[in-house]
Structure 1
Amino acid sequence: MSLTATAREDLRLQAFANASNYNTMERGDLPETKARPNIFKNTLLALLIMLIALVLLIYIGVPLSINLSTTVRRQILFLSFLTSSEGLSDPESFGLNCSRNFFTTSDPGVRIASWYMQSQDMPCFADKEWFPGNSSTVLYLHGITRTRSARNRLELMQKMAGRVKTHVVAIDYRGFGDSTNETPSLSGVVNDSLAAYKRLRNIMPNSKIIIWGHSLGTSVTMYLARKLHEQDDDPAAIILEAALDSVGNVIVHNRLSKPFKWIPWFDEIFVKPFENDPAVDFNSTAQASSLNPKVPMLMLHAEDDQTIPFENGFSLYETIRDARKGVENAAPVTFVPFRAAHGFGHSSIVFYGKLSDLVLGFLGSNPVGPSEVLPEI
């Protein structure tokens, strides 16, 4: 064999050896290296841990917080931390013609912000004089979340000052909007509404004041009306929109409670802490017999209300109605149900096209007579 042939044979053998070594490595005989991280597996594990933490927070943290802290209960009930004071000093920028912003002192150190919109029954006074003429005034008490600038509240003010031709005053309780930043409570918001009412009475001692409450504001209205009756200073009329009978009953029937209803001792964990806390235990039913039975009342409730179910409002109507039975010259309580087909839900009854006519009919009706439930609208 020649030298050249030998060299070629050596090269052939070397190539064969390299190929064999490569095949062996392909079979897994690589030198030991770090395993590649399994990204999918780690991501799935992280998501599982987050889900478990969320479940623990919802089903352990929330009940514990509700049971242990009155501050938590007050924040959950009022949701005042969701409000903003932006732009509230200029009500006309929200489309409220001939309006102004003002403040009223409630408890010591507490200022309540309010809007006043003049009745359109007269020309707008350039200097915004307080409550000119003899028009009645609606004191509007809103529910939880947001401020007096919410769309449904603006709509109500415009309708009352326009077609109904009343002055309108809408307030923000403490903790809401540009009022004093203090966590609300039952006694606090009732005192705020009382301070607003008393200021109106001092400004126009001989004029009619109509209290309009919406949602939790209906319960504030009931407590306020009881105080006013005790002080012999009753309003001319009361209008309750989407009224609740009691906070406890609303918690039981509210859709937000559904994820927790399966928990054993639901009432003890979620309902009783509110009912046993005087800072949040709004109970309109308990106030019914203490109101002046000669003050006419109008109640409006949508059948598709998922926040305060229709049954809760109707239950309150029955209680107020029964409290007036047998009382001489008692004023009627009129309950108006709105069909679910309207889609009014909890906050949109004020957009009903004939609402102004309905209110005008109520205010102009005979203040003495039996209570009644009107046909569905």
Structure 2
Amino acid sequence: MSDIAGPGLLAKARTALTIAGGLYALAIGLVSIPYFQSHTLYLNAVRIPWFADFDAPERYGLAINKTYNFKIQTVDNETLGAWFILSESVYQTLPSHNTIPKPYISDALRTRPTILFFHGNAATRAFKVRIQHYTAFSSRLNANVLAIDYRGFAESTGTPSEEGLVRDARAAYEWLISSGAKGEDIIIMGHSLGTGVSARLAAQLSKEELAYRGVVLMSPFSSMTELVKTYSILGAVPLVRPLTMIPYAFNFITWALIHKFDTLSVVPQIKGKVLIAHAENDWDVPYTHSEVLFNAFLEPLLPNVDIPSDPVSTTKEDWSAFTAQIAARKNQRENIVTTTRLVNFGVVEEFVDRGGESLVNGEPVRGAEYWAAGRPGGGAPWQREVIFVKMLEGNHELVGVQEGLQDIIGRKFGLLQQPLAPLPPPPMSAPASAAPESDVGGSDASEAGGWSPLPSASERGEWTGAMTKVID
């Protein structure tokens, strides 16, 4: 009996594997077709919540008359659905909560900074987790929020494309400016797919020398090509890794990608403050994508390492020079990057780029020339602060609702009201023999210049050499 069952089970297993392989090949083939690829990437047909009433944001958790529902027109005549959410301080000054918010938008834009928010794929601006972001940003950070649905999403017209989404982002920025906002009061913020849009918009504005306060990239990917390589279903089943075992198969997939969203390539063009945030438990986009982006911002400030072309014939002297270069690079990184560990939250790495070396039109340039390259008449050098927040929790969707991250964003982008002085110690102080605690949230006090939720001495008008790392 077992002899009969054995071959039968084996045949069924082979059949199941054949069917699974066929379905996998069919899925990969369909994704290579632009129509199916676009729908798979954007998922704009998934319009959660279904049949949303965008004129009634209160139904989805926002306060009464805190949100203005309207349309934005793009340069190529698409119409985008949009919500403008008043900051909490402006909202609380309305004559009553039965007052419509539209007449107070210009005052809100002049009074408080605005977060220009670009969401990820699928769903709409009324999706529950996105409402949580708007609530936190408008209340805890006391910022206005402008959230749009890209073309082809929700009730917006058109069909999504990479260039189209960047036009949508630019239209939203221009609407803020025309409505009374100053560029330096606009924080560009993107989540997941929205980070590709945000980075492209920031690079575009930087090239045209148009102001913005900074850019925040939450759960970003370095490029769509790299995301396809690393993406795993539920963090466990690799999507295209089996193709790497077939010669040229993966090359075909990358060739077929029509939506690149290559954030890594626009890193040198982004000027001003950048904050990258990612959770270690992100199953959709591995946090290594954020590490790659952070290192790309840092790369111009580090010495080069000449990798031996032929390790077999490398002399002892060449090998010594190689190891010395690695040590010098590691030492330079430690001197430049300030690392702060926050217990039960994560790690914050940051540095200030005051003009490193980079390639502009194929030519190496340094310092002020780096930022002034291509600008009529040159100009003063730019200073770019880059922060990487790697959190323990947040998964993919909930990074922005972590209050620890909100505090860091508020602190770094000037959204939080600064306390006049640190709070006094509690009444029951530690014994006199005990060493005083000087770290923040468990951070290492020896890592000078680390982030703190309290203002530094320099920010209070005092000078201290121990709080700042200067890059020559």
Shorter-chain TM band = 0.7 to 0.9
Deviates further, 104-113 or 170-179? 104-113
Secondary structure in 1 aligned to 2:89?
Answer: coil
| C-alpha spacing 1:215/1:247, structure 2 compared with 1 (3 Å) | same
Task: Work out the CA distance in 1 between the residues paired with 2:39 and 2:212.
Answer: 30
Which residue of the partner structure matches residue 291 of structure 1?
Answer: 270
Q: Which has the higher contact order (CA 8 A, sep 6+)?
A: 1
Q: Is it true that 1:121 corresponds to 2:121 in the alignment?
A: no
Note if contact 1:336-1:373 (Cα within 8 Å) is conserved in structure 2: no
Contact 1:189–1:220 (Cα < 8 Å) also in 2: yes
Deviation at 1:268, TM superposition (A): 4.5
Within 5 Å, give how 1:352-363 maps onto structure 2.
352-363=402-413
Counterpart in the other structure of 1:110? 78
- Secondary structure, counterpart of 2:242 in structure 1: coil
Counterpart of 1:155 in structure 2 is 132
Residue in structure 1 matched with residue 397 of structure 2 by the alignment:
347
CA pair 203-259 structure 1, distance change in 2 beyond 3 A: closer
Quote how far apart the aligned CAs of 1:163 are: 1.8
2:232 is aligned to 255
Residue number in structure 2 paired with 1:88: 54
Structure 2 residue matching 1:168: 3-state secondary structure: strand
What residue in structure 2 maps to residue 369 of structure 1?
none
1:110 positional shift: 1.3
SS at match of 1:262: helix
CA contact (8 A) 1:74 1:183 kept: no
Distance 1:80 1:108 in 2: 19
The answer on whether the counterparts of 1:102 and 1:114 sit within 8 Å (CA) in structure 2 is yes
Aligned residue for 1:143? 120
Question: 1:274 deviation in Å?
Answer: 4.5
Contact 1:247 / 1:275 at 8 angstroms: preserved in 2? no
Residue 116 of structure 1 deviates from its aligned partner by 0.7
Report Cα offsets for 1:90-143 as digits up to 9, x if no partner.
212212221111110124341111111001112236131224242111100011
TM-score between both structures, scaled by the size of structure 2: 0.61
SS of equivalent residue, structure 1 residue 81: coil
Contact 1:88–1:177 (CA<8 Å) still a contact in 2? Answer: no
The alignment of Structure 1 onto Structure 2 pairs a total of residues equal to 316
- Between the aligned partners of 1:156 and 1:280, the Cα distance in structure 2 is 27
Identify the structure with the greater helix proportion.
Answer: 1
The answer (yes or no) to whether the contact 1:80–1:183 under 8 Å persists in 2 is: no
Paired residues of 1:213 and 1:239 also in contact (CA < 8 A): yes
**C-alpha root-mean-square deviation of aligned residues, in Å?**
2.8
Distance (Å, rounded) in 2 between the aligned partners of 1:50 and 1:346:
36
Picking from 218, 221, 226, the partner of 1:241 is 218
- Provide, for residues 299-326 of structure 1, a one-character-per-residue CA deviation record: whole Å limited to 9, x for no partner: 1110111111010111011112335452
| CA deviation map 1:160-200 (0-9, x unaligned) | 111211110111101111111x3311001111111111111
Distance 1:85 1:172, change over 3 A: farther
Identify unmatched segments of 5+ residues in structure 1. 1-43, 366-371
**1:172 matched residue in structure 2:** 149
Q: What's the offset of the Cα at 1:373?
A: 9.0
Counterpart residue number, 1:28:
none
Question: Could you say what secondary structure the match of 1:354 adopts?
Answer: helix
2:171 maps to 195
- Conserved 8 A contact 1:118-1:124: no
User: Structure 1 264/319 Cα, relative in aligned 2: closer, same or farther at 3 Å?
Assistant: closer
CA distance in 2, matches of 1:174, 1:250: 23
2:30 maps to: 65
246 and 267 in structure 1: CA distance in 2 versus 1, 3 angstrom threshold: farther
Deviates more, 1:303-312 or 1:354-363: 354-363
Deviates more, 1:255-264 or 1:73-82: 255-264
Distance 1:163 1:302, change over 3 A: same
* Structure 2 CA distance for partners of 1:63 and 1:206, relative to 1, 3 Å: closer
Distance 2:190 2:225 in 1: 19
Q: Deviations over 1:264-290 (max 9, x none)?
A: 55684456544554x401100000111
Change in Cα spacing, 1:272 to 1:151, as seen in structure 2 (3 Å) is farther
What is the TM-score normalised by the length of structure 1? Answer: 0.76
Question: Quick check: 1:251–1:271 contact (8 Å CA) kept in 2?
Answer: no
Counterpart residue identity of residue 94, structure 2 = C
Change (3 A) 1:120 1:254: same
Aligned residues with identical type, % of pairs = 23
Contiguous gaps of at least 5 residues in structure 2:
1-8, 301-352, 357-366, 368-380, 416-448, 453-472
Structure 1 SS opposite 2:275: strand
Pairing 1:263-274 to 2, within 5 Å after superposition = 263=243, 268-269=248-249, 272-274=252-254
